[in-house]
């Protein structure tokens, strides 16, 4: 993997833009003419954005330019011609896939809250990118679909775990094997969207959510996310212990701050 700052040429190849404004980083999928199709460069550059995120960033917004959030993997990768500047698709090993998954995994880090702002299609790797984020704010024209099985592959960009955590195994199986589209009403019902708003209001709804999150102390927000993320894998006893641990650390921190 390349070191150092991400160059303009690398952002361009990845179809990404990054804007950091104080505590908020906004990652834009910026290939609207291809409905923000994703390539190996996209996933690797996302991983490098995670690795090089400036200290002090507390919220990461992932959004897509144009009518769709993302049409998933660039289907040209499955052709003999491929995509200029990208590796050929197959045959590949697990380490190769691990490098791509790194692009999504960091969005679960406790020191940040990640928000997917989703309009239009979020297909395959695009759906998994939305699932990789902590929260999903969607426009009422959203169309989620897990198309991988239709291509003879499985969803392998870390999406199966959050999908199952959110909708349960039977519904996840049904969504993946039918590859059908989930529209806004159902997305809200299934818990795939925290908020559904008219398309024109998506930016404002995300801004409001970001402001609410930033109003919470950074250490409190991180402790809360750590706790809640750990909860499904913990017994009640383990989770109660984790609550005590986090609370004592926060109370000690408050006491230290208040002492002269």
Residue choice 50, 103, 125, 162 for contact with ligand ACO (CB under 6 A):
125
Q: Does 103 bind ligand ACO (CB under 6 A)?
A: no
Query: Do the Cβ atoms of 234 and 145 come closer than 8 Å?
Result: no
Q: Which is nearer to ligand ACO, 125 or 162 (CB)?
A: 125
**Shortest spacing between CB 258 and ligand ACO, in angstroms:** 51
Q: Which is nearer to ligand ACO, 154 or 216 (CB)?
A: 154
**Shortest spacing between CB 187 and ligand ACO, in angstroms:** 16
Residue choice 13, 24, 29, 35 for contact with ligand ACO (CB under 6 A):
35
Q: Does 72 bind ligand ACO (CB under 6 A)?
A: yes
Options 15-23, 33-41, 101-109, 250-258: segment touching ligand ACO (CB under 6 A): 33-41
Residue choice 71, 172, 205, 206 for contact with ligand ACO (CB under 6 A):
71
Options 15-23, 90-98, 121-129, 160-168: segment touching ligand ACO (CB under 6 A): 121-129
User: Which of the residues 74 through 93 are near ligand ACO (CB under 6 A)?
Assistant: 74-76
* Contact residues for ligand ACO, defined by CB under 6 A: 34-35, 37, 67-68, 71-76, 121, 123-125, 147-148, 151
């Amino acid at each position: 993997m390349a070191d150092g700052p991400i160059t303009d040429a690398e952002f361009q190849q990845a179809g990404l833009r990054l804007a950091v404004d104080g505590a908020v980083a906004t990652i834009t999928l910026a290939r609207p003419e291809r409905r923000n199709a994703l390539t190996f460069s996209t996933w690797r550059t996302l991983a490098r954005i995670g690795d090089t995120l400036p200290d002090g960033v507390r919220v990461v917004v992932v959004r897509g330019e144009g009518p769709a959030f993302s049409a998933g993997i660039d289907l040209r990768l499955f052709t003999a011609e491929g995509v200029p500047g990208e590796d050929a698709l197959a045959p590949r090993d697990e380490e190769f896939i691990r490098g791509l998954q790194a692009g999504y995994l960091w969005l679960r880090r406790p020191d940040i809250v990640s928000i997917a702002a989703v309009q239009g299609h979020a297909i395959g790797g695009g759906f998994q990118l939305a699932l990789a984020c902590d929260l999903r704010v969607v426009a009422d024209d959203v169309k989620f679909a897990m198309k991988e099985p239709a291509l003879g592959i499985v969803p392998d960009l870390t999406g199966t775990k959050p999908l199952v955590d959110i909708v349960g195994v039977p519904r996840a199986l049904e969504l993946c094997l039918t590859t059908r589209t989930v529209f806004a009403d159902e997305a809200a019902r299934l818990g795939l969207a925290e908020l559904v708003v008219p398309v024109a209001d998506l930016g404002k709804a995300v801004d409001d959510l970001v402001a609410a999150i930033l109003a919470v102390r950074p250490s409190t927000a991180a402790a809360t996310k750590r706790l809640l993320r750990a909860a499904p894998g913990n017994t009640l006893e383990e989770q109660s212990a984790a609550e005590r641990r986090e609370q004592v650390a926060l109370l000690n921190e408050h006491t230290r701050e208040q002492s002269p």
